[in-house]
Amino acid sequence: MAEIVDGARLRLADGGYEALSVAALARDLGVAQNAIYWYFPTKDHLFVAAVEGILHDILARKPRKGTCLDEVLWFAERLNEFQDLRITMRERARTSEVVAAFEADVVALFRVMLVGALRDHVDGDRLEDTADAVMALCEGVLIRTLSRAQRRHLIRFGFERLVG
């Protein structure tokens, strides 16, 4: 099963969701399509498993020390790496229950991470709203075509006004 997920991750990296063909993946791995469908009933199940693996790898690289702003900037850069897949997830979530459930879990995970990073820097009654505002700030910056330096500048600017 890990070999299938790894192959799916490569296909996503090479060409996005459109390149994630079960038939092509089966050919790449030298297995029958039914072998893939045994583990993953639909292409969307395979997509979720592949994206979950990508997220796991991203989160495993999370630095353990740094300021709250450092954590937010790290988080935003990881979201940027993941942006195309996040857009695909949103699109697929409209028609796929499995992707919609996974997307909701990913958003909840990102929010928990932000709340954790902000907890010691924001009053408790403002924490939830501040986490949502920082998430919106990061997402808003990421949809624009900006350099890494410009992204970091805008996020730093917004963060300082939201958190202090």
Q: What pLDDT sits at residue 66?
A: 78
Asked whether residue 3 carries a pLDDT value surpassing 90, the answer given is: yes
The whole-angstrom separation of Cα 14 and Cα 32 is: 22
Residue with structure tokens 């893939």?
36
Q: What is the mean pLDDT of residues 140-157?
A: 93
DSSP conformation class of 66: S
Q: What pLDDT sits at residue 42?
A: 95
The whole-angstrom separation of Cα 24 and Cα 29 is: 9
CATH class given for the domain over 1-49: mainly alpha
The domain spans of the chain are 1-49, 62-164
pLDDT in tens, 38-73: 999 999 999 999 999 988 888 888 777 778 898 889
Q: What pLDDT sits at residue 114?
A: 87
